[in-house]
Amino acid sequence: MSRQVIWEARAIDQAAGFLRDDPDGVREMLDAVARLSDEPRPAGSFPYGSPDRRRLRVGRYRVMYDTTPETVSVGTSVAAGPKANNKGIPQIDGLELGRRAGTTDASADSRTLSKG
């Protein structure tokens, strides 16, 4: 049974913030999240406080999500771990939080991606 994958606006904004620096890593993370529609508890994911709240590690990214029998909701946290700059010194990218740019109503707080 496939579940609908729902992205909260903050998670979309956070993931988009990494596109310029790491397009391949973001693509890998997006593909892994899309696969959650068929397998919401894949190997490498861990419960985070309750069996239905999970954390998935995809490369340098950590994705927090909630599952129900019908949906997988990617919530407020898409974070990247440290990466080395051109001098080999670890650094952490900043995260931009908040409502998706240009939206003013609560209905814009989440986006739905359907599996093709």
pLDDT of 1 = 74
Q: What is the pTM for the complete model shown?
A: 0.67
Give CA–CA dist 23/115, Å, rounded.
21
CA distance 32 to 54: 14
DSSP, res 103: -
Give the residue carrying structure tokens 């790491």.
22
Residues in the chain: 116
pLDDT by residue, tens only, the chain of 116 residues: 799 999 999 999 988 988 989 999 999 999 999 999 999 999 989 999 998 999 999 988 999 999 999 999 998 566 676 654 444 433 334 333 333 333 344 444 444 443 43
Each domain of the chain, given as residue ranges in start order, spans 1-78
What's the topology of domain 1-78? YaeB-like fold (3.30.2310)
* 87 φ, ψ (degrees, to nearest 5): -105, 5
Q: What is the C-alpha to C-alpha distance for residues 12 and 2, in angstroms, rounded to an integer?
A: 21
Residue among 79, 74, 78, 11 nearest 37 (CA): 74
